[in-house]
Amino acid sequence: MAEDKFKKGVMRIIGEKGKFKDWGGEKNDLCTTRLKFKGKRQAVVFAFKGKGMKKKLTPNLMGKNGDQIQRLFQSPAEIFILQYWSQVDDAIYEQMQMAAKVRSYSDGKKIFFGVIDGQDSARLIYAYRAKFK
């Protein structure tokens, strides 16, 4: 499934109707406050890695300079999600965890992060088939 189609499916799930244009230097692919987490709306940002890549996602595949995680965590949010179509290397989780700790410390807030890997992407599509059409 194309990255844009998956992003639009996620937007339908959370009820986001805005327009989000892709370009090379963006901090995130989707930024919204429509996600409900623990009963409250929260600011969340997503980074969607296109379907063109099938190998394990490593930090060097995260943007031209390998800095996509750092840019993601510069976004105005409390929840940071990375979606990829295959397996995700431990180094990605480690970078996200470190960025979340730094952000939590600097903002004085709880910061959450998560990864939607290939298996989770397939589960989302299956569970919300109508949203991904």
Tokens describing residue 89: 């290397």
- Tens of pLDDT, residue by residue over 64-90, are 888 899 999 999 999 999 999 999 999
Express as a percent the part of the chain with pLDDT over 70.
95
What is the band of 42 on the pLDDT scale with cuts at 50, 70, 90? very high
Q: What is the pLDDT of residues 90-127, one digit of tens each?
A: 999 999 999 999 999 999 999 999 999 999 999 999 99
CA angle 123, 99, 17 (to 5 degrees): 50
How many domains are contained in the chain? Answer: 1
Query: Under a CB-based contact definition with an 8 Å cutoff, are residues 57 and 87 in contact?
Result: yes
Q: Is the pLDDT of residue 25 over 80?
A: no
Domain of 20? Answer: 3-132
Strand order in the sheet with 40-48: 30-37, 40-48, 79-83, 112-116
Taking the complete model, does pTM exceed 0.85, yes or no? yes
Q: Is 89 exposed, middle or buried (0-12, 13-18, 19+ CB in 10 A)?
A: middle
